[in-house]
Chains A and B, each alone.
Chain A
């Protein structure tokens, strides 16, 4: 099914909760209301002529200029070989979203990663811990305004330029 038809179908079913369809870009995408994202995704997975069985990728995108963080879902259907991108806009301070674990199990680790690197809190997640960084790390590195802590566990994270070292 074409991305435009998919959007049309969603718009009829969830009036006012999906918007901002962009069809003339490389990966057609649409915006979903943060409150409705789980029910929209469940519908996308279960509806026989949509059947998006697989969440290919879930990640964050920090947009400080617009003061928002986007959660980006790339979904794909094995049965119909079509794909679409869903985007959810969240505020940069305290971004919160319902977990997608109940729809696609793969979301468990992908959401943990998004939490780790962007600080997006997924409500209802069964095991929301950091995954790539240690538990006691400070900050979320993939935010554009992230400043690395000066030392971790007593080890400096900074390194003096090699030239200075040689001159000394």
Chain B
């Protein structure tokens, strides 16, 4: 099955061993979108890696940006201003919502509920428009910088978000009525792709797939980064560890992410959005054109890159699909020595065989849909 099957959103191949329609064994072949992310990162400066991180999980690129920037900042030993941290939280959560909406919408439409697919994509469109207003792009946004973000939020941001959330909540309520007690949908989702808690942990799964088995692990709670410890939110967990629980976990997480954004918008302080350190953050254009120091700092960062002290760090953030880790090694200088991404959906795909063995061919579609494999992140 694959590599370019209409029901597989990424390019991926399943080598299936069948008995009639029953799956005896399944070998997952990935790597069709491999482009040497880690190798490319070794050739460019620390700042130039940011556009590459957009293209990892391109459904929620802001989370990748934030994760990478946080890892480099930890290595540099700097902390961004409070306003920047709040902006990063807000943008990450908007991204998480778009990620879950895409996953649930696509999975539903593949099971015949195409109306739900359209509704959820409409909700996603509302949020992506907001992201576009802030960052200037829809998917490949490169919004964060090391030591800050590109620029501040627009003045009417809070109103736009409130408006979009009101509409999204209506759409989500409609979808809930259409799906959550829909016989066909439940029959195709419930009791399939089941993983026990022990298996999920042994396979290192994280995110909604782990939480659907009843483990309450979320990086935002377990190892809080940015300002997540100042915000009040819950981690929805499932009980059975099947596809339906994963779906419900994601839908509930959307609501929690909206809560986070609303709280953060109330609490966000005024102030600068970038560090005031000319060795890390590019100076304003005004200074570059009018003062020798400004020009020199600009030249240094562009030509030599930010000088990151030697050392190594592993920093994880909660991505849409689970723990997104960045393992970064520097040997001092303007270029990374090694950038390694721990991709949550690569690890989820390694457990796919376990989930699908003994099921029918048609069950691949909901199971694969709820993993939400993103080729860019899985294959790097």
Interface residues of A (CB under 8 A from B): 25-27, 53-57, 59, 61-62, 72, 74, 78, 81, 85, 104-106, 108-110, 113, 117, 130-134, 141-142, 146
Residues of B332-372 whose CB lies within 8 A of A: 338, 340, 342, 346-347, 349-351
Residues of B31-59 whose CB lies within 8 A of A: 31, 34, 36, 38-39
**In the assembly, what is the distance between CA of A26 and CA of B75, in Å?**
8
**In the assembly, what is the distance between CA of A104 and CA of B204, in Å?**
8
Q: Is B327 an interface residue (CB 8 A)?
A: yes
A133 and B217 contacting across the interface, CB-CB below 8 Å: no
- Give A98 Cβ to nearest chain B Cβ, in Å: 18
Binds A, one of B87-95, B167-175, B309-317: B309-317
- Give A118 Cβ to nearest chain B Cβ, in Å: 10
**In the assembly, what is the distance between CA of A3 and CA of B346, in Å?**
29
**Per-residue interface assignment for chain B, residues 253 to 293, with 1 indicating a CB less than 8 Å from any chain A CB and 0 otherwise:** 00000000000000000000000000000000000000000
List residues of chain A with CB within 8 A of the CB of B338. Answer: 61-62, 142
- Give A85 Cβ to nearest chain B Cβ, in Å: 7
Residue of A nearest to B325 (CB): A57
Ordered by A's residue number, 21 sampled pairs between the chains whose C-beta atoms are within 8 Å are: A26-B312, A26-B313, A27-B312, A53-B201, A54-B201, A56-B204, A56-B325, A57-B327, A59-B327, A62-B338, A78-B201, A81-B222, A81-B223, A104-B204, A106-B202, A109-B347, A110-B347, A132-B30, A132-B379, A133-B31, A134-B31
A105 and B31 contacting across the interface, CB-CB below 8 Å: no
A57 and B313 contacting across the interface, CB-CB below 8 Å: no
- In the complex where A55-B204, A78-B215, A106-B203 touch, is A142 in contact with B39 (Cβ < 8 A)? yes
**In the assembly, what is the distance between CA of A104 and CA of B325, in Å?**
18
Which 5 pairs between the two chains have the least Cβ-Cβ distance?
A106-B204, A109-B350, A132-B31, A132-B34, A57-B342
Residue of A nearest to B71 (CB): A26
A61 and B329 contacting across the interface, CB-CB below 8 Å: yes
Residue of B nearest to A108 (CB): B350
What band does the interface of chain B fall in when counting residues whose beta carbon is under 8 Å from A?
Answer: 35 or more
List residues of chain A with CB within 8 A of the CB of B38. Answer: 117, 142
List residues of chain B with CB within 8 A of the CB of A108. Answer: 350
Residue of A nearest to B350 (CB): A109
**In the assembly, what is the distance between CA of A116 and CA of B246, in Å?**
32
**In the complex, given contacts A27-B313, A104-B204, A134-B31, what are 19 additional A-B residue pairs having Cβ atoms less than 8 angstroms apart?**
A25-B312, A26-B311, A26-B313, A56-B314, A56-B316, A59-B327, A59-B340, A74-B314, A74-B325, A78-B201, A81-B222, A104-B202, A106-B202, A106-B203, A106-B204, A109-B347, A109-B350, A132-B30, A142-B338
List residues of chain A with CB within 8 A of the CB of B325. Answer: 56-57, 74
List residues of chain B with CB within 8 A of the CB of A146. Answer: 39
Q: Is B74 an interface residue (CB 8 A)?
A: yes
The CB with the most chain A CB atoms within 10 A, among B31, B38, B204, B329, is that of: B204
Residue of B nearest to A74 (CB): B314
- The main secondary structure of chain B at its interface with chain A is mixed
Partner of A133 from the list B34, B75, B311, B329 (CB cut-off 8 Å) is B34
B323 and A56 contacting across the interface, CB-CB below 8 Å: yes
Residue of A nearest to B329 (CB): A61
List residues of chain A with CB within 8 A of the CB of B34. Answer: 132-133
Q: Is B380 an interface residue (CB 8 A)?
A: yes
B202 and A105 contacting across the interface, CB-CB below 8 Å: yes
**In the assembly, what is the distance between CA of A70 and CA of B204, in Å?**
21
Residue of B nearest to A105 (CB): B202
**In the assembly, what is the distance between CA of A130 and CA of B30, in Å?**
10
B340 and A106 contacting across the interface, CB-CB below 8 Å: no
- Give A75 Cβ to nearest chain B Cβ, in Å: 10
- In the complex where A132-B380, A142-B39 touch, is A57 in contact with B75 (Cβ < 8 A)? no
**In the assembly, what is the distance between CA of A74 and CA of B206, in Å?**
15
A74 and B327 contacting across the interface, CB-CB below 8 Å: yes
Partner of B39 from the list A27, A54, A141 (CB cut-off 8 Å) is A141
List residues of chain B with CB within 8 A of the CB of A57. Answer: 314, 325, 327, 340, 342
**In the assembly, what is the distance between CA of A74 and CA of B204, in Å?**
12
- Give A106 Cβ to nearest chain B Cβ, in Å: 3
**In the assembly, what is the distance between CA of A34 and CA of B350, in Å?**
25
Residue of B nearest to A72 (CB): B327
Residue of B nearest to A127 (CB): B27
List residues of chain B with CB within 8 A of the CB of A130. Answer: 31
List residues of chain A with CB within 8 A of the CB of B313. Answer: 26-27
A106 and B350 contacting across the interface, CB-CB below 8 Å: yes
List residues of chain B with CB within 8 A of the CB of A132. Answer: 30-31, 34, 379-380
List residues of chain B with CB within 8 A of the CB of A78. Answer: 201, 215, 217
- Give B222 Cβ to nearest chain A Cβ, in Å: 6
Partner of B342 from the list A56, A62, A81, A142 (CB cut-off 8 Å) is A56
**In the assembly, what is the distance between CA of A27 and CA of B222, in Å?**
17
- Give A26 Cβ to nearest chain B Cβ, in Å: 5
